[in-house]
Structure 1
């Protein structure tokens, strides 16, 4: 994979996450039910992904692919839905900065543990002083954003 396009793509995706959380918060405010707001949001994602799959149906997994898959692999969407629901529920109360800052900082801290220990079959990337400093700076930065 060519990293020249990967990092800008991830950057834009991160920006869209902040926009999406704010949009979802407004959806929740408009209809008054965070469960329904989350359901509407995920239904649109489901329709989009099914349409994209219909346009590009290959490659398809084999029975062996399913058999080799860890039991927990399909749960990623449900785990991600917790963050979406929390954003929908709390972004109007706390603001986009604190909600997204805490979400991203928690993501970084968990990611550093996943990398360090090689959890979920990820390639291991050991903790070092620079990664630790980055985590401390993230916590400090989001604390300032949430407080002020």
Structure 2
């Protein structure tokens, strides 16, 4: 399968996984009585899965390369933890759909800014009128979903 076909399929599956993850982890947090413990369990399972993935594919890059990276790049881990904790804590009382829709709105906004300015080494894709209209349509759709 070519990358041009594979990449969108993988990202679609990742998108499908976000609300499933939110519902499962929120339920685990509610059953445990601790969203923080559920988030920790999620992180351990995720780490273990990535460790197995790396072990199976073989180390293509030595771990020592981590020592030579700018410290600010590791902030992504803090954002990941924030996402896990917030979705696990808020989804049970706010609704998985509501929580995920607001996450999507945040993603639309931040992705547009990141692409427009080429932040963090991303490809620079200026927000044209057509692109802005598409983003507004997506945000408007999220707003309509919230009203029903």
Fold equivalence (TM over 0.5): yes
Structure 1 residue 56: deviation in Å?
A: 2.4
Equivalent in the alignment of 1:34 = 35
Structure 1 residue 143: deviation in Å?
A: 1.7
TM-score normalised by length of structure 1: 0.89
1:60-79 matches, cutoff 5 A: 60-61=61-62, 66-67=67-68, 69-79=69-79
Partners of 1:25 and 1:91 within 8 A in 2: yes
CA distance in 2, matches of 1:50, 1:137: 39
CA distance in 2, matches of 1:63, 1:14: 32
Structure 1 residue 39: deviation in Å?
A: 0.3
TM superposition outliers: structure 1 runs of 4+ over 6 Å: none
Structure 1 residue 32: deviation in Å?
A: 1.2
Structure 1 residue 62: deviation in Å?
A: 7.5
Q: Deviations over 1:78-108 (max 9, x none)?
A: 2122112111111111212211111011011
Gap runs ≥5 in structure 2: none
1:1-148 matches, cutoff 5 A: 2-61=3-62, 66-67=67-68, 69-148=69-148
CA distance in 1, matches of 2:109, 2:74: 22
Structure 1 residue 65: deviation in Å?
A: 7.1
Partners of 1:98 and 1:142 within 8 A in 2: no
**Structure 2 residue matching 1:90: 3-state secondary structure:** helix
CA distance in 2, matches of 1:20, 1:85: 12
Gap runs ≥5 in structure 1: none
The alignment yields a C-alpha RMSD, in angstroms, of 1.8
CA distance in 2, matches of 1:59, 1:26: 37
TM-score normalised by length of structure 2: 0.89
